[in-house]
Chains A and B, each alone.
Chain A
Amino acid sequence: MDFGFSETQRDVQQLARKILGEQVSAETLAQYDEFAAERFDRGLWQQLADAGLLGVAIDQAHGGMGLGFFELALLVEEAGRVVAPLPLIPHAVSAALAIQQFGSEAQRAALLPGAADGSLQLSAALAETNNDNPARPSAVQAVVDGAGYRLNGIKTCVPYARGATAILASAAAPEGTIAVLIDPVAAGVRFSDVSYTTYEPLVEMALDEVMIDADAVLAGPEQGAAVMQWTAERTTAALCAHQLGVTDVAMRMTASYTAEREQFGVPVATFQAVGHRAANCFIDVECLRLNSYQAVSLLDAGNDATTEVQIAKVWAGDVGHRVSYAAQHLHGGTGIDRDYPLWRFCLWARHNEVMLGGSARQLSALGERIAAGEAYCR
């Protein structure tokens, strides 16, 4: 039992905090508000790549640092602390980890070195309308065509799709779920902009008779569902880590603000009602922290962590919601003023809460596991 960070983990965390802290501020983020510019800081992206962080979990053989999922999650948490304008989770978690774990040698050689050095960007299409389980796709169908597949259907809320070299997606083939890498400029791929609450560039991706050659198939029907489940669990754990960064900062911003803001001649933080609501946030964030780290640490060790990931996401949803509104409320009008930095954190808290299933969906899935005898307390 060890709740401490290793020296390497501390180094990764501090390096990420330094770079992100220097490069991202309320002023730099303001340029992306209302879609004024694409929410992607390419200079920062390159800086993270040059520092080795973009490839922190990519094998050294493919140009990465060769560290684990825990170190990658620490980077994601730091990105959450500044709500960094980067496609970090779809690129480094959803796509790169899945390619590294399940890809052919040719796929890994073609995509991972560029993913680590920042010369290419990856994405993942994990959502369909009314279906956030990528292991059981229903809106995109695949039929066998030669050595590959032909895809038809629609994925939604695909992040940073236009600039991606490859987009990881699942499709329902007659024999089961398959996982493929879609080339965004292939014939039959069409994007419509999704105007999203965080100003992230998302698209709806329509696939019309899109050919997937054999070399772009990540997993066939015998393994596809497991591959997408594997990917979804890591992506979910990463969303929890991001939420941890977002809520921790929103909470501390609130503590500082109420310590300085005076009413009736005293700091409002000295009112017990204010202090206690902030204390509730502290407890909440601690619960999110511990559950997120547990899920990430179990996944990092290659253990089964389905229950722990579901539980972490319940906390990410509930804590994100509660801390976001407590932070806004305790700030008074300042919390909703767009000249003060809090509001963007509230948008991201909501995104992290909802993506890949909110608390009700997670609780329902966990309840099914309990009923199947798979989630007893040990």
Chain B
Amino acid sequence: MIEILVIFLILGVLLGLLLAIASVKLHVKTDPKLFNVINALPGANCGACGYPGCAGCGRAIFEGKAPINSCPVGGKATATAISEILGVESDIDSLPKVARVKCNGAANAKAIYEYTGAKSCLLAKNSFSGMKACDFGCFGLGTCAISCPFDAIKMVNGLPKVNAKKCTACGVCVKACPQFIMELIPQNQQVLVNCNNTDKGKNALSTCSVACIKCKKCEKACNYDAIHVGKIAIIDYDKCTNCGACVEVCPTHAILRYENNKFVSVVYEVEEQAGCSGCSTNCER
């Protein structure tokens, strides 16, 4: 009995001492600034910066391998906080951005076959380049919604709907979409071209009733030289004043206006809610 107690006492003391000595002898000095930088990051571990989580990004910023505005989620506030910690000047002056969808297809876009495969836009893209007649539009399978680390995208009537209150412009959905129809735009931008179809007018219209037909009416209507039609109508967000002249003249309603995060001239319209919205996602009714 005594033997057992003694042996375990020795074992415990030995292992304890070993760990204590190891933790002192092998102590790795880490700069407290590194912790401050990591703590200044949002901590969402979304991976939008390209590093494995916020700790990886913080380490890269600390070692000077990444610019201090590497975090697209935290934006200017985070960059300023980090610049204070590291004593580096913050030279970014970017407007807060938000993800938007460059497609208003859904039921407006014709389908060429019925897709019954797995719910993944990537797989749909591989089956004859998708089920839509339009080669540039949204499949409505929600790969962006699944990819969103902030639960800001919801599929509504076959189109992704971005909740601007939750969107942090991390850009994960932009990378996830195989059709390249997600775009990060300045948050105060209200007028948007909701089409990505670069086909000629007639071809585009034959696949989708709300396609951009390159008629250039918007270009003529714009007083600020802010919209130009090349392969598709593109708004210069720096020049655009959100006057809405182009919205009124667009014959196919490819250009639409958002107000308070809602489409004004609408094909679909949903109340947005702040908070987790888990109840509305799970509610069947």
- Do these two chains really belong together in a complex? no
Residues of B within 8 A of A (CB): none
